[in-house]
């Protein structure tokens, strides 16, 4: 993540985190990204979505873990865990 705080739905970092958290909270398939249809899906978020839709459970788990680690690192960097 680039270190700047943004709330733009067009931000690739926001979209990646959004898709990962949607999956974490139970969204599957097209529901992972449909809320971003109005702003356009960034290629990085499309890659995350693809990983979370993989046929193999282990691959989906690996994709989710990677995104959650990125999100946790960004929160830690900003001091939001404290």
The position carrying tokens 């499309």 is 46
Q: Is the pLDDT of residue 80 over 80?
A: no
CA distance 67 to 25: 14
Q: Around 82, how many Cα atoms within 13 Å sit in the side-chain half-sphere?
A: 5
Q: Around 77, how many Cα atoms within 13 Å sit in the side-chain half-sphere?
A: 11
Q: Is the pLDDT of residue 3 over 60?
A: no
pLDDT at 57: 97
Q: Tell me: the pLDDT tens digits for 34-58? A: 999 999 999 999 999 999 999 999 9
Q: Tell me: the pLDDT tens digits for 64-78? A: 999 999 999 988 888
Q: Which of 9, 17, 2 is nearest to 66 (CA)?
A: 17
> Domain limits of the chain?
12-77
């Amino acid at each position: 993540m680039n270190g700047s705080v943004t709330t733009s739905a067009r931000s690739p970092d926001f979209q990646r985190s959004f898709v990962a958290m949607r999956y974490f909270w139970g969204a599957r398939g097209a529901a992972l990204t449909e809320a971003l249809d109005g702003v356009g899906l960034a290629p990085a978020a499309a890659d995350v979505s693809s990983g979370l839709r993989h046929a193999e459970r282990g691959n989906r788990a690996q994709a989710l873990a990677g995104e959650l680690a990125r999100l946790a690192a960004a929160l830690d960097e900003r001091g939001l865990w404290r």
